[in-house]
Structure 1
Amino acid sequence: MNKSNAHDDEPNPLFNQSLEKGLAVLCAFSAQRRSMTLGDLAEAADISKSSAQRMVFTLEQLGFVRKHPRTRRYQLTPHVMRVGYNYIAANPVIDLANPYLAELTNATTETTCLTEADGLEMVYVARFVSAQFVPVHMPIGSRIPMYCTASGRAWLAALPDEEALALLRASDRPAHTRFTITDEGALMRELNETRQRGYAVNREELFLGDMTLGAPVLGSRGRPVAAVHIVAPTSRWTLEEAESRLGPSLLACARSLSNSVRALD
């Protein structure tokens, strides 16, 4: 977990380390770690076992975690979703985006999504699912890396070169498939092409069979606030067909949403 005082010589007296540890425990759970022992939690959260015990006890009393009666392993409760839902409910961009995404899905019959940046990842915050086959299920809250996804590259392309390059260099950039572009120079060329087209393309770089086109949503200062992307499974689309038939609708959606977002400022 990133610390607000990570770059300071002296710790800030306002920084609450207990809160940091409690959040680290909550964030330690994942699809790969759905339930954990106290020792597992301490290791995953990078805290001592005694600290983990205090954090888990408090979180259990507050209803955020529970202990399985048979396995004695800890797991999250639905109460955790209250925090995430509050963000979605309070986010005006999501409210503005929903009608545009619904219209885009109706017009293209394909799945459309809104993502927002968090560190080196894009987070799904809205989604309208096609009635047709979709190769990958990405529920709200799912995270995808910036460097190898259409929404991530759309976001990066809307930034100045030096900022985009810094984010790329901070990314590990593993090759998820044989199509994943990981080279720094090649990725910067992709961003330049994205700026020229107005949208980014991901051709099976994260998941096989999954192709997406993404465009940035810009705020009043020309900075990206989100990205819209449309899923074009390779079982139904070639890249050329997707660009010619889906690209214009995607760009129109992103422009309209950007105009609505700027009106809020």
Structure 2
Amino acid sequence: MTTAKPKVSRKSKAESVTVAGDPTMSSLYVQSVEKAMTVLTAFDGSKRQLSLSEIASITGFDMSATQRFTFTLVTLGYLSKDPESRKYELSPKLLDFTYHYLTSNELVSRATPYLQQLGSETEEATNLTVLDGTDIVFVLRIVSRNVFNAHVITGTRLPAYCTAPGLAILATFSDGEVQDILSRSNLIAYTSSTVFQPGKIRERIARIRKLGYAHTEDEYFVSDISTAAAITNAHGRAIGAVNIAVARPRWQPDRDEKRFADLVIHTASAISSRRRSD
């Protein structure tokens, strides 16, 4: 007589990854990786070097754990330790990740010749940004001799709600998604011109949907004027944005807004169309 094998209950893939909607509670989640990344992100640019005690204070780890993680990261080459001051700083090896991202990213590859052409035609800074959480991240930046802010570089993060590229991206999302992003954003006035009230932002996004482009002036940086359009996928959802940034002394309202709006709309559409045709 054959004995029937008991049925084994198998968790679904989603159940194996998350527990009660929290992926950090999954058995697949490696906390030591999270802690190592926490140490690296303690170097936020406010200080070039950090002491062991400063890293411990920022991360909330005890000194023993901080010492183990910094030792490991130095050994792997992602942190450098000054032998005299005994302070730590980020290593150039971290740029390997940036290099691999930029060289392997399809959107960056496709957008590059278009942004180069746009920069050549306007003699202004042109940018490719993507949304990450509540921020836009600059993943490609073509600067010109007229560049307004040289401190904005690849990897710079700015809030989506008050930047032209961010607003252009948000305008392609549903109202519910926009509300969720705004609820998680730190809505503050960076300048006297910043639109940071949720209701006004939603009204603005409704206008952007009709116009097909976003335009901001002096909202994050004073004297910075930006015009952007979204790069979309086959479903009309933004996967990035193209923008032109102009310093106020070079801005002529009667001439420039429509001209730059047409340029970014055309450029974003061309990049979007190429992606859809593949």
1:35 to 1:7, Cα distance in 2 relative to 1, 3 A: farther
Query: What are the residue-to-residue correspondences of 1:20-35 with 2, within 5 Å?
Result: 20-35=34-49
**1:191 maps to which residue?**
205
TM-score by length of 2: 0.89
The answer (yes or no) to whether the contact 2:141–2:154 under 8 Å persists in 1 is: yes
In 1, the alpha carbon distance for the partners of 2:233 and 2:47 equals: 37
Gaps of 5+ in 1: none
Shift of 1:67: 1.1
Q: Which moved more, 1:133-142 or 1:56-65?
A: 133-142
2:190 maps to a residue whose letter is: H
The alignment partner of 2:127 has SS state of strand
Gaps of 5+ in 2: 1-17
Matched, 1:77 2:91: yes
The alignment partner of 2:249 has SS state of coil
Q: Which moved more, 1:12-21 or 1:127-136?
A: 127-136
Shift of 1:9: 9.2
Aligned-pair Cα RMSD in Å: 1.9
Matched, 1:60 2:74: yes
1:169 to 1:75, Cα distance in 2 relative to 1, 3 A: same
Query: What are the residue-to-residue correspondences of 1:235-254 with 2, within 5 Å?
Result: 235-254=249-268
The answer (yes or no) to whether the contact 2:23–2:29 under 8 Å persists in 1 is: no
In 2, the alpha carbon distance for the partners of 1:145 and 1:45 equals: 24
**1:172 maps to which residue?**
186
Equivalenced residues, count: 262
In 2, the alpha carbon distance for the partners of 1:210 and 1:17 equals: 41
The answer (yes or no) to whether the contact 1:5–1:15 under 8 Å persists in 2 is: no
**1:96 maps to which residue?**
110
Identity of aligned residues (%): 34
TM-score by length of 1: 0.93
**1:116 maps to which residue?**
130
**1:223 maps to which residue?**
237
Shift of 1:11: 1.7
Question: Considering only CA atoms, is the larger Rg found in Structure 1 or Structure 2?
Answer: 2
Shift of 1:90: 0.9
String of CA shifts for 1:15-50, please: whole Å, max 9, x gaps: 000011001111111220321111211222233322
The answer (yes or no) to whether the contact 1:115–1:124 under 8 Å persists in 2 is: yes
In 2, the alpha carbon distance for the partners of 1:9 and 1:83 equals: 24
